[in-house]
Structure 1
Amino acid sequence: MATVMSSVLLKLVFPPPASAVVSAVMVGSFLVLTYCGVSEMIGKHLNYSKFWNAATEKQKNKNIKLSSRVGMVLLYGPGFLAGAASFWLYPNEGLRSTLLNSAVTLHYFKRLFEDIYSNFYIK
Structure 2
Amino acid sequence: MSGNRYFLDTNAIVALLQGNTQLIQLLQNAEWIGISVISQIEFMAFSGLAESDVPKEPLRDRQLFQQFLQRVEVIGLVSIDTGLIEKIIEIRQQYRLKLPDAIIAAMAIQN
TM-score, normalised to structure 2's length? 0.28
TM-score, normalised to structure 1's length? 0.26
